[in-house]
Amino acid sequence: MSTNSSPLYDVEVLYDIRIPMRDGLELSANLFRPVPRDADETFPAILEMIPYRKDSWRFASDHQLMTYLAQRGFVGCRLDVRGTGSSPGIALDEYTAIETQDGYDTVEWLAAQPWCNGRVGMWGISYGGFTSIQVAMLQPPSLKAIVPMYATDDRYTDDVHYIGGCLTASELSQYALSQVGMNALPPKAKYLQGDWAE
């Protein structure tokens, strides 16, 4: 892999790719793929899974980062976690066991795609960092690296929500309310052809 910081590839963006989970639910992802120079060229993938609505609230920043990665030879995958954004299901809490399984399933799905070389990494800031650590604990065979930022492996004593075992003030208002509000919104109507209101 070149360390050149200039773009090396054109980018193909695929919206609302449905990734199957072990329980049959299909979660929504946007993929940012380098356009291969020849038919046999494959790429590693980088996964970020967070609940912050990839198609609205995080759209511009996701495009900037994932396009940058794809231009340099990585497939960028931005997944709405179960029950958030355009992914079906119910988000009962953060970092649940089923959400962590979803991360495992997504890593292995990415690795099995014909455009992937079988190597997948995960990254994220805060929520994405926590999910990276938790998915890595399950040891998916194709997960080769994680880059968790502003995250911890001890959520009870050293977390954004709990410090020393005590719930932080931010958890009582701003963050919790923003999550309820975002998750109450419907999926992006374009994906469902406007049928969500029915």
pLDDT tens digit sequence for 147-160:
988 777 766 666 66
Q: How confident is residue 174, by pLDDT bands cut at 50, 70 and 90?
A: low
Number of domains in the chain: 1
What is the pTM for the complete model shown? 0.86
What pLDDT digit, counting tens, does each position of 93-103 carry?
777 899 999 99
Q: Which two tokens stand for residue 174?
A: 């701003």
Report the C-alpha gap between 101 and 107 in whole angstroms: 10
Q: What is the CATH number of the domain that holds 77?
A: 3.40.50.1820
What pLDDT digit, counting tens, does each position of 40-99 carry?
999 999 999 998 888 876 777 888 999 999 999 999 999 999 999 889 998 877 778 999
- Contact, 138 vs 107, CB < 8 A? no
Report the C-alpha gap between 48 and 50 in whole angstroms: 7
User: In the predicted model, is pLDDT for residue 177 greater than 70?
Assistant: no
5 assigned to some structural domain: no
83 assigned to some structural domain: yes
Which neighbouring-strand residues pair with 34? 11
Q: Residue 79's pLDDT is what?
A: 96
178 assigned to some structural domain: no
177 assigned to some structural domain: no
Report the C-alpha gap between 84 and 51 in whole angstroms: 5
94 assigned to some structural domain: yes
Q: What residues make up the domain containing 137? A: 11-154
Report the C-alpha gap between 157 and 148 in whole angstroms: 18
160 assigned to some structural domain: no
141 assigned to some structural domain: yes
85 assigned to some structural domain: yes
What pLDDT digit, counting tens, does each position of 123-148 carry?
998 888 889 999 999 999 999 999 98
- Contact, 108 vs 71, CB < 8 A? no
